Structure 1
């Protein structure tokens, strides 16, 4: 189990996320390396249109910009200080011209459980 810590935003390193690196860069704050069920971090989106099926429960908090999450034809829109809740199994598209979001997911080790690590 890791120790409590402070994570300054300016110390984060954003890296391309999966096959959508030109549209999404992520910086993890907490995750499976911490031996915790909770994963959390930041994602920068730029000209993003990303199809995905959620393999975890997720909460998204928009810090800057705006994001649309399209689920079954319904658009969930969020701007600064707005949240979106997404249950595991949801098929969706993340869409954003520009945004910085904070996310929290569980389980943090979903990729290991899915054989994607």
Structure 2
């Protein structure tokens, strides 16, 4: 299919980070045949997730306010705004309030993370 439409209801499996109110779900994964990943994330107010980027990522904030802390400072965005992250950057995702967002990664985030020295970070996630 050359044109597709997704909502968070299309996500078949949600993953939670530890016991935090952080939930992630791909709607376009490495199994799709596409060159990128697309998914949805939900963060509860005050939740934080440290991560090292092993792929490029665009975060499209759909509700709430979301901050990414990086080596050159923090970037905050609200609904309708985008935060772009480059591979190789150490970050902390922070929900300033309950937030929902769409993430788009290139290449596929899971494949990139699994084949990197950062693979251990995936152990923090379990099926919700």
User: TM-score when scaled to structure 1?
Assistant: 0.83
Offset, 1:110: 1.2
Equivalent positions of 1:16-55 (< 5 A) are: 16-17=15-16, 19-20=17-18, 22-46=20-44, 47-55=46-54
C-alpha distance in 2 between matches for 1:52 and 1:38: 19
C-alpha distance in 2 between matches for 1:59 and 1:21: 25
Offset, 1:21: 5.2
**Aligned-partner SS, 1:78:** strand
CA contact under 8 A between 1:41 and 1:102: conserved in structure 2?
A: yes
Which runs of no fewer than 5 residues in structure 1 stay unpaired? none
The RMSD of aligned alpha carbons is 2.2
User: TM-score when scaled to structure 2?
Assistant: 0.77
Higher strand residue share: 1
Q: Quickly say closer, same or farther: Cα 1:44–1:38, change in 2 above 3 A.
A: same
**Aligned-partner SS, 2:54:** coil
C-alpha distance in 2 between matches for 1:45 and 1:11: 18
Moved over 6 A (4+): none
C-alpha distance in 2 between matches for 1:14 and 1:100: 16
Which runs of no fewer than 5 residues in structure 2 stay unpaired? 123-128
Equivalent positions of 1:66-81 (< 5 A) are: 66-72=65-71, 74-81=73-80
